[in-house]
Structure 1
Amino acid sequence: MPCQGPSGREDFEIALVCALETEFEAACLVVEQFWDGGEDFYGKAAGDMNSYRTGRIGRHNIVLLLLSGMGKVRAAHAAANLHSSFTRLRLVLLVGGCAATPRVDDAEILLGDVIISTGVVQYDFGRKYPGGFVRKDSARDNLSKPCKEVENILAALQVSNMKSLLAERTAGLLLRLQNTTAKHGYGIKYQYPGIREDKLYEATYRHKHHVAITDCSVCSQSDNIVCDAALQTPCEDLGCEKSHLVYRKRLEEKLQICQSGDISHQNPAIFFGIFGSGDMVMRSGEDRDALADREKVIAFEMEAAGIWEEVPSIIIKGAFDYGDSHKNKRWQAFASATAACAARAVIEQLAWTDRGESRLLSRGIGMEIPFIS
């Protein structure tokens, strides 16, 4: 049943921020009720250039913001304006897609899995020397730790039982989103792309025209030279060889589940770790692995560094590629959906006291709440 809307902007305490339209659309799909059906009733502060949507998830009033573009500078400006208009915001969730490292400790990360931030490293901030790049990593130059409130939320979410419930709720929301959007004419946009489409190539294997397929004069010069056309061409058309694919045990387990007719093969796993954030799109498997080893990052994206110190924030993103040269957009919509569902599952666990301080609810995550009216 529809609820009564908030009286003003001071009643909004949570924001969802997305960098891409696909991510924003998925975030809107998990909102239970919108307050701005016919007009922008709540307005914004003078000088604020952002455009907002407002709504509700459970008892929480939500502000939704689509950034004007990618990158940390735009994200920082937008976050500052967001805070000037909605002065009582307690938490901002940056929701969307990211590049993921294929492995963290002994666990395999697959496409569609969700990564939640415990910290952010601005990996492209440093000095370029003739011998290479050196990141500035002094205490003054590093991004700060999460604020105490966010640290407490993250600590509670990582408890084994809570993490399991979070994954279960995310999977349930994802299935409902898929069923509902299919009925509303979205087709297969948010459906699981398929186990066979989750391809991880060896980090040193380049995405380029291969001799067996073409006689490209540029790509044939050496292993390290790639023509511009190849960078925009799918692996299938370039002849990227299956013999260079990396075997993943977890992918085989998913295949067995799928062959048994169980839809749970699409369920995303939830990982917690450090995000690498910078203005460069990660498209090198070797650089990805080197940064993962040196900085302990498990995912890469382009906006977190811009909002991390502007507002109390948590980054929740779905893996849509592996940050290598074989990058494609086939998983973007599905990964955006898994991240949006995980964000809603997190929000459902947040309770706000009369003073606006957050804590985790002790109830479970299995409550069924319809969305997409």
Structure 2
Amino acid sequence: MTFTHASYTVAWICALPLELAAAKVFLDQVHPRLTQPESDHNVYTLGSVAGHNVVVVCLPTGVYGTTSATAAVSHLISTYQNVRFGLMVGVGGGVPKGDPDIRLGDIVVSKPTDTSSGVIQYDYGKTLQSGRFHRTGSLNKPPSLLLKVIAQMDSDYMLGKASLSNILASSLQKDKVRKQFPRPPKDQLFQPLYDHVNNRPDCAYCDPSQQVNRPERIPEPYIHYGLIASGNQVIKDARTRDLFAQELDILCFEMEAAGIMDVIPSLVIRGICDYCDSHKHKEWQPYAAFVAAAYAKTVLMQVPLQERSGDLEKSVPGKRHWMVPFRQNPGFVGREGEITKVEELFGKVNGPFKVALCGLGGVGKTQIALELTYRMRERDPTCSVFWIPCTSNASIEQAFMGIAQTIGLQDVKPSDVKERVKVYLSQASGRKWLLIFDNADDMDMWVGECASATELANILAPSEQGHILFTTRNRKLAVRLTSPFVIDVSEPDTETGVKILEEGLQKKELLDNRDKTIALLKQLTFLPLAISQAAAYINSNNIKLSDYTALLKEQESDVVELLSEDFGDDGRYQDIQNPKKVDAVGLLKAFSFVAEEAKDHALSLHRLVHLSTRNWLRREQQFSLQIQKTANHLKQVFPGNEHRNQKLWREYLPHALSLAGESDFQREREEYTRLLQNVGRCLRTDGRYSEAAVLFKDMTKVRRRKLGDDDAVSLMADLASTYSDQGRWEEAKELKVQVLEISKRVLEIRKRVLGPEHPCTLTSMANLAFTLYSQERVYEAVVLMEKCVRLQVRSLGPSHPHTKNSARSLKRWKEMAESSTDSLEAPRGTVAPQL
């Protein structure tokens, strides 16, 4: 039998090689590999289980978490587009509540409740003003068919008809399987407050009296249905485990499911290999992976082969989406050859997925793409069009967030938005779409070594119904992205140039002298942008074509330099003040220097004009001054990373990041530490951890070099937290130790030099308390802050802002500790800070 990509209807997702090995045990047949797109970096195992053709994928070794899972599954469903549902199968950490009595080797299956879909992303949400963490958004439920299947299996299990035992017994008859996936003899559960001893690989040195006594039970896997918590951090602390479990009614913790639930309808199956405490070992992992895989096979045995119900159909957009920021140009003329070429290429059966329009800046590439989209809308009302300006990574990020909102994706993080949009487009079965990347000129942005280049490359997954059009000045990049489907856009011919000028002029009689018309067009090198700007200037100043030609010749300037000139009103006295904002913007729009986007009335500056303006500022030795003015303004208006400011900071971020990359700013950046720290914190809140880490690391170096460690401690703390977000645990741990040591040293110095009740000393005391609290040393933080508040009341007064802030923090910490059942008594072996 011949298998194709369309033959496979079930996705089996694993996170560990051990889980993949267990999956392979239960394949009834193994199929030969198939070819796959170059953009798909997964390695697949193909086979059949109970008559279902299954594609098995495992995450990259050592790369775990929700983001990795999202990427892997997104590639899978782009290549295997007939996949109907997914099974996330592997190991997880159990919550030993007692009821249900979850033990090692048991199985937990995701099942929706009245308030949850079956999987909760416990680490995604926002911190409220009170300091409490509020989870936002909800993940998709498993498909209805699979919920019906597990209901049937649950009833069989209650009646003693479970087929899981038979599958396990049959598989374990093979010596190789039994040796690879043995059931360990010991199942030890310790009291939540008792930690593992001496970092040894087993619990041989742990106190036996701290074990929890539980009734004997038949040594076979029990099956539990309920909520599974998913997040990017490993839970290795019983107190943290119980805090989340009690709040959310969790049965199991794991690290990947939240990354796939909104990508493909899935059921999560976890074999319990530990209790999410400090006694975690890998002894139970093989057996837990094995029983989870056995349960997955049991599920597939119950799924009807003929089932094609709507429960498992991919969601199809209900309407065409239109996200084009510009109105149709009524003065567009010519370019029929380029438009026809694009339409023919996209219209071919098995034609190219990507095409590029390549030519000089100002030659009309964007206008061709714009005209193409409006013609397509008129000809094919079912085709969605999305326009993405590529002037910077930030503009691309904002455009993708706009697409996500337009197509109705909910609760999308900026760090995940490209992947989510890609998945949506790949699943848009039967719907046509066109994605336009305008001004894709920066090679490093697309094929460089930075993280953003990798993300953009992954966007370009082929689709039977979709197409991508690039406009670019960079021919090398055009070839890299679309070779050999590059359409060269050159200056228009003479007659087209005349028509463009005619469309732009108010007084058509100015074209009566053909020789003068051609002379002007030659001076403008027939660039459509320059022609439009010349027409606007002529209309505004009511001059002749020959006057404008003479102006160009007198300045001995080319078009780029023309754009750098001061286009003020020549009829205005020199001492009259410049027009106000409305007049100034109107003048810029008249010259086509800026365009107003139809949707939100935002102003878009043409890239060529932007470059020319910068050149003019440098020539006039004004560039550094403008950089400083911009930095000072952003320093005043850029918000903190409180959730209420999210919309505002996302508007300011592209400007702040552009400023941070300017060499003139970098020489003075130590003067803007507070601004850059705010920028980094907003990036971190948005999940843009790599960018935040680079910024914090750079500013930490600058601050330490100029003022020493003592003044860099806040930035070091932010960098340590960002490393934790990235899973760089050792670097984070090392940095946190440094932060704590520096904070203590600063406090001691200020006590000795300034006195114990000096305001600066008390500020250092409060800062140290915050550092202790951020490192989860709650008892020490509370003790120190209590002392700080007492001294502030005596030294500064109860109504002083510093006193109030410290008191509020102290109250919040105590409330958090009480709500989480944490004790504020000193843990055994802890000495209260003597400060």
Give the TM-score band, short-chain normalised. 0.7 to 0.9
Q: In the alignment, which residue of structure 2 is the partner of 1:260? A: none
The residue type equivalent to 1:19 in the other structure is A
**1:314 to 2:280 alignment:** no
The residue type equivalent to 1:100 in the other structure is G
**1:174 to 2:171 alignment:** no
Q: In the alignment, which residue of structure 2 is the partner of 1:331? A: 284
**1:207 to 2:222 alignment:** no
CA contact (8 A) 1:275 1:299 kept: yes
SS at match of 2:163: helix
TM-score of the aligned structures, taking structure 2 as reference length = 0.35
Q: Write out aligned runs for 1:1-373 (5 A).
A: 4=1, 6-36=2-32, 40=33, 42-68=34-60, 69-103=63-97, 106-118=99-111, 119-127=118-126, 134-137=133-136, 141-158=137-154, 160-161=155-156, 168-180=162-174, 182=175, 184=176, 188-194=179-185, 197-209=186-198, 230=199, 233-236=201-204, 239-249=205-215, 252-254=216-218, 265=219, 267-353=220-306, 355=308
* Structure-1 separation of matches of 2:270 and 2:76: 20
* Structure-2 separation of matches of 1:280 and 1:111: 21
Residue 161 of structure 1 deviates from its aligned partner by 2.5
CA contact (8 A) 2:14 2:89 kept: yes
The residue type equivalent to 1:48 in the other structure is D
SS at match of 2:217: helix
* Structure-2 separation of matches of 1:130 and 1:284: 27
The residue type equivalent to 2:122 in the other structure is Y
The residue type equivalent to 1:203 in the other structure is P
Residue 132 of structure 1 deviates from its aligned partner by 6.1
SS at match of 1:54: strand
Residue 136 of structure 1 deviates from its aligned partner by 1.8
**Residues 116-136 of structure 1, C-alpha deviations (whole Å, 9 max, x = no match):** 111100011134579866142
Residue 354 of structure 1 deviates from its aligned partner by 6.5
Flag the 1:277–1:163 CA change in 2: closer, same or farther, 3 A: farther
CA contact (8 A) 1:150 1:312 kept: no
Flag the 1:242–1:311 CA change in 2: closer, same or farther, 3 A: same
Residue 356 of structure 1 deviates from its aligned partner by 6.3
**Residues 277-331 of structure 1, C-alpha deviations (whole Å, 9 max, x = no match):** 0011111111111211111110000000000110010011100001111110000
SS at match of 2:179: coil
CA contact (8 A) 1:79 1:310 kept: yes
* Structure-1 separation of matches of 2:307 and 2:92: 35
CA contact (8 A) 1:31 1:57 kept: yes
SS at match of 1:62: strand
Structure 1: gaps (5+ residues) = 210-229, 255-264, 360-373
CA contact (8 A) 1:124 1:135 kept: no
SS at match of 1:253: coil
The residue type equivalent to 1:114 in the other structure is I
* Structure-1 separation of matches of 2:207 and 2:201: 14
* Structure-1 separation of matches of 2:6 and 2:159: 34
SS at match of 1:352: coil
| Larger RCO, structures 1/2 (Cα 8 Å, 6+ apart) | 1
SS at match of 2:293: helix
* Structure-1 separation of matches of 2:103 and 2:138: 29
Residue 163 of structure 1 deviates from its aligned partner by 5.8
**Residues 237-294 of structure 1, C-alpha deviations (whole Å, 9 max, x = no match):** xx21111111111xx133xxxxxxxxxx3x2111111100001111111111121111
CA contact (8 A) 2:10 2:84 kept: yes
CA contact (8 A) 1:200 1:245 kept: yes
Residue 67 of structure 1 deviates from its aligned partner by 1.0
Residue 157 of structure 1 deviates from its aligned partner by 3.7
Flag the 1:333–1:86 CA change in 2: closer, same or farther, 3 A: same
* Structure-2 separation of matches of 1:246 and 1:93: 33
Residue 165 of structure 1 deviates from its aligned partner by 6.1
Higher strand share: 1
TM-score of the aligned structures, taking structure 1 as reference length = 0.76
SS at match of 1:26: helix
The residue type equivalent to 1:90 in the other structure is R
* Structure-2 separation of matches of 1:162 and 1:206: 36
Structure 2: gaps (5+ residues) = 112-117, 313-835
CA contact (8 A) 2:8 2:53 kept: yes
* Structure-1 separation of matches of 2:97 and 2:239: 14
* Structure-2 separation of matches of 1:163 and 1:16: 27
* Structure-1 separation of matches of 2:159 and 2:230: 27
* Structure-2 separation of matches of 1:142 and 1:294: 16
CA contact (8 A) 2:141 2:265 kept: no
Q: In the alignment, which residue of structure 2 is the partner of 1:366? A: none
Residue 142 of structure 1 deviates from its aligned partner by 2.2
Higher helix share: 2
CA contact (8 A) 1:288 1:324 kept: yes
